[in-house]
Amino acid sequence: MTQLNFVTLDVFTSTPYSGNPLAVVFLPEDESKALTQSQKQTIAREFNLSESIFVHPVRENSKRTIDIFTTDCEIPFAGHPTIGAASWFLSHSTDPADGSGVTTLATKSGDIPISVQDSATKYVAAQIAHNTRIHAARFSASELLRLHPTLAPFIPKEATFPLFSIVNGMSQLFIELASLEALAAVTPATGGELISAADTEYLDEGWKAGLVCVYFFVRDVYDDALKQKVFRSRMMLGNLEDPATGSSASGLAAYLALTEGVASQQHQYHFVQGVEMGRRSDIGVEVTLDGEKKIEQVVLRGTAVSVSEGKVLVPRA
């Protein structure tokens, strides 16, 4: 049977077995052997990671096309697959066609400019798409505690929480907590319940697509490794906890810049996620506001490290 090459990377870390794992599968050069959606989905399900990417053959020296799959479906964009792909092409690949000549990732969400930020640390950056929305409704404490009852000691009954979309179809519910004790008390949603964008009254009309990630965070936590204050965060999607969620971190950075930032300035944010899972992830986000305090640019930053490589069988069509 036909086999495809693959590698796995741990993303948003330079330490193997930390960060968020990503499978990178290289599609056949021969277009007559192109994989169907079903075959890609089967492979992604076999890896059983939060996301796997499929790299198309080289068609332009400066651009690489990737498809992003969860275990259930293809998605147009996600943060850790984007940084993983950028890191592979700019820092890890031994293919002469890759390297400094790659400047763009082509995804279903559009073209994403990528670059090396620091060759010594292998930090890469991706300028991500944004079409932001602060939704009019706010999420109630009673509804939050129905989903996450372990937070009852830490959430005032009158509290409400904002919902935000970094792009249409990629929404987040932001839960600010006062302490790491409260962050440690977070558990998956009761019964694995998801907040469905299509069925909730919390998202504005015209924005009811996709799912809503619940992003918990604590500000101004001193980080011994970095010797600076960071945001500590966790992301829950039903019964799933993700060790690194670049899209949610980008969303929170954009929301904070819009609501607290200064016009005509760059705003830097550093998120440390996954600590409670034993998979620390370091996520950098830079948001630039224009003179009217609108978002001009969102840049996601991080590193990745190679963990494994091999071959995977192509499933039957």
| pLDDT digits 0-9 by tens, 183-235 | 999 999 999 999 988 878 899 999 998 879 999 999 999 999 999 999 999 99
pTM: 0.94
Residues 235-261 have a mean pLDDT of 96
Based on the domain organization, do 155 and 82 belong to the same domain?
Answer: no
Based on the domain organization, do 177 and 236 belong to the same domain?
Answer: yes
Q: Residue 142: which of 161, 122, 168, 118 has the closest Cα? A: 161
Mean pLDDT across the chain: 94
Based on the domain organization, do 143 and 282 belong to the same domain?
Answer: yes
Q: Which residue has the higher pLDDT, 46 or 99?
A: 46
pLDDT number for residue 250:
96
Structure tokens at 108: 């279903």
Domain count, the chain: 2
Which tens digits make up the pLDDT trace of 126-141?
Answer: 999 899 999 999 999 9
Share of the chain above pLDDT 70, in %: 99
Structure tokens at 3: 């086999």
- The enclosing domain of 225 has a CATH number of 3.10.310.10
Based on the domain organization, do 294 and 159 belong to the same domain?
Answer: yes
Separation of alpha carbons 94 and 84, rounded Å = 15
Task: Kindly state the DSSP code that residue 65 receives in the 8-state scheme.
Answer: E
Range of 64's domain? 3-127+304-313
Q: For residue 277, give Cα distances in angstroms to 105, 241, 243.
A: 30, 8, 7
Based on the domain organization, do 198 and 213 belong to the same domain?
Answer: yes
